[in-house]
Structure 1
């Protein structure tokens, strides 16, 4: 992607899009998983669409705006506002006030973003304008959507979600409903259901599992990263890169059925990132793996549920052990952490939230990874075909900068299917991370070289 790309965006004044028909005026409680402190932030996603000659004469802004009003009839809680009650309990005031919508035009084409669309995106703040006063969690619109027409006839659909309302699966369900109605359907093929009480604390609450992900660790050594010293880059991992990392493992860990690509990449990135950040050897470091728990319940959560239904299981070790041991050590820690998540584990989290004041997951010396390859962002269609790119707009999102990375499905310019992973680190740490990752791949005779620190076989882009 061209990092020197500069373009102008002409925006109309933000407007509120309300449900097209009257909706219930009521108060709906979020679940005790939804309203934990670690989800009280806004998360951005972006979709790029090419021009489709079959849609000649159709305006994507007009199509999506009208469909949004109809979709909000079914997803009317999104048109409401969050309120906070006793004990920090969050609830939706379903008042039909509407969601923020911005119409925009840009003097740029999809092609000018380069052949490989991936985070970080140039001029991101113009593709999703941060409407003043809208980014607070309480008493503000729950969705902000900007549709930007491009000079090629394509468009960009950018959305910001109040994360307490939905996880990736829930958001994609809403976006698919919006797409279906944009394409002429009268109602979503999957009717939304609330049922947040399924993830509420028990009465009385009883914390039955160990939840080290919520330990409150003091940041005594100033490891929380400053926002003004952040380097955002994306890294591509295709079959060659994954095979190179897998080859570092002993034979019994190399088999595909033993460890998934997600687990192997997570172990590798966690280790490289820890080396790059240079903590003291006796300091604890953590890897947090987002695990979708929808299928962990018996019976599973109902089809159409669009709340947050995932856990933050964590593996903890010291920096010294992580760095000095072979990669297989980190891999086993990742595998065991993922296996912790059960239906009982989810109930235990909800109970912990109400007994401990809805704490934030631990961010001190933590790295959080979230696999959105199965979420389906790229499948969302508004009538112009599937997205050229669809998914998270950047890494490092959340209340704490630099902690999170997403695993996003991606096809490189050779046609290889793989993952693109945005990473966000302080500038000097990023240089060490690049060097360490290059070393990992080169040790397996992968012919990769860093050119100016910006691009190689695995580094895709940086800003």
Structure 2
């Protein structure tokens, strides 16, 4: 690719890719009952060309969220932040002084999940490399997840309970800091050491999530009688029979919630949170997804609960780093920051990461206020050093000492 301009190559490939992914060139409209639909009017997407007078190494030794200079690497074009009637994609390609480049993309999440976004990006990459069409043909077929007629809610959906934020638990943006935490084999082993033998079979995702939920709750210091939620993103592509077709690039996941009182979550061993998370994942079935679709119709598309909630999403299988526009795999590929703009501080992503010494694991961005972050770091450090004080059973009662608060 020597002598070729990444801006020119990717812009032309994007135009050709949109022939196959033409809904992305349209605009979202809202119909009766807040039903969303795509107006395929061919208005197009936004593409930004930029140059930066910096080299890649100036961004730091370890590229990880929160990514520095994000506002300059993906310009927030005025008037494009709304869900309706605005471009569904914004892409910026920034040339660097060293000869590399940064590809940044903002997606209207209504259109695709992370797997669908990777599929789109891979298609752009394939056409950048000379292919005439994507190797995986895009499949729309959103009717596969339509609500039933008549709609009927058959499952419990605590992720959509509407709760007033009477105590100001949602962290304001101006008081929030971002930090990323590495979880490799050593860190996972430290957490597993706190679990009894019969819980060792649980996945790393479940074990890390239980640890983060518990540490975060302790750091926030809510009242012990309040309820807190962990919301896990569950991929449902394989839960249908037959599975959703190969090439389906729509949203195919559930927000599944586990709920516990603060007292029970912090007074019980880590395995208590672990079992709640495992059950929340197992509850997601084909019937569960039909029930979600029906709930959307009956309740006019509610948002999921954000009050006293913590959402985690595993993007390790999205393989963003493997997308190749002709210059090879990316040095870093994944979310640029933790949290989501409309729900600051609520979401964390599990991103594949390799340290400079070659150790592989996950990097997980966390957003919290300054004081809460200090307590969270201490609590997590206690867990990873195996200094946490587990509940001690005395007769029929349990006694818990919080070691870092």
Normalising by structure 1, report the TM-score: 0.83
- CA drift at 1:227: 0.9
**What is the aligned partner in structure 1 of residue 263 from structure 2?**
320
- CA drift at 1:444: 6.0
**Residue-by-residue CA offset, 1:49-92 (whole Å, 9 max, x unaligned):** xxxxxx21000000000001000000000001111111111111
**What is the aligned partner in structure 2 of residue 218 from structure 1?**
164
In structure 2, distance between residues paired with 1:120 and 1:176: 24
**What is the aligned partner in structure 2 of residue 287 from structure 1?**
230
Question: Does 1:440 pair with 2:383?
Answer: yes
Gaps of 5+ in 1: 1-54, 446-463
Question: Does 1:99 pair with 2:99?
Answer: no
**What is the aligned partner in structure 2 of residue 260 from structure 1?**
203
**Residue-by-residue CA offset, 1:391-442 (whole Å, 9 max, x unaligned):** 1111111421100000000011221110000000011100100010111112
Task: State the secondary structure of the residue aligned to 1:390.
Answer: coil
**What is the aligned partner in structure 1 of residue 370 from structure 2?**
427
Q: Which has the higher contact order (CA 8 A, sep 6+)?
A: 1
In structure 1, distance between residues paired with 2:203 and 2:229: 20
**Residue-by-residue CA offset, 1:286-312 (whole Å, 9 max, x unaligned):** 000000000100000001111000001
- CA drift at 1:443: 2.1
**What is the aligned partner in structure 1 of residue 34 from structure 2?**
88
- CA drift at 1:115: 2.3
Q: Which of 386, 396, 407 is the matching residue for 2:350?
A: 407
- On the 8 A contact 1:144/1:160 being kept in 2, the answer is yes
Task: State the secondary structure of the residue aligned to 2:95.
Answer: strand
Question: Does 1:68 pair with 2:14?
Answer: yes
Question: Does 1:141 pair with 2:124?
Answer: no
**Residue-by-residue CA offset, 1:119-142 (whole Å, 9 max, x unaligned):** 011111000000000111111100
Task: State the secondary structure of the residue aligned to 1:115.
Answer: coil
Q: Which of 110, 114, 121 is the matching residue for 1:168?
A: 114
In structure 1, distance between residues paired with 2:313 and 2:127: 29
Task: State the secondary structure of the residue aligned to 2:318.
Answer: coil
**What is the aligned partner in structure 2 of residue 362 from structure 1?**
305
In structure 1, distance between residues paired with 2:92 and 2:215: 36
Task: State the secondary structure of the residue aligned to 1:402.
Answer: coil
CA RMSD of aligned residues (A): 1.0
**Residue-by-residue CA offset, 1:221-274 (whole Å, 9 max, x unaligned):** 1111111100101000000000001101112212xxx20000000000000000
- 5 Å-filtered alignment, 1:331-350, equals 331-350=274-293
Normalising by structure 2, report the TM-score: 0.95
**Residue-by-residue CA offset, 1:9-34 (whole Å, 9 max, x unaligned):** xxxxxxxxxxxxxxxxxxxxxxxxxx
Task: State the secondary structure of the residue aligned to 2:14.
Answer: helix
Q: Which of 114, 125, 131 is the matching residue for 1:185?
A: 131
Report the more deviating stretch, 181-190 or 214-223: 214-223
In structure 1, distance between residues paired with 2:283 and 2:341: 24
**What is the aligned partner in structure 2 of residue 454 from structure 1?**
none
**What is the aligned partner in structure 2 of residue 112 from structure 1?**
58
Q: Which of 253, 270, 273 is the matching residue for 1:310?
A: 253
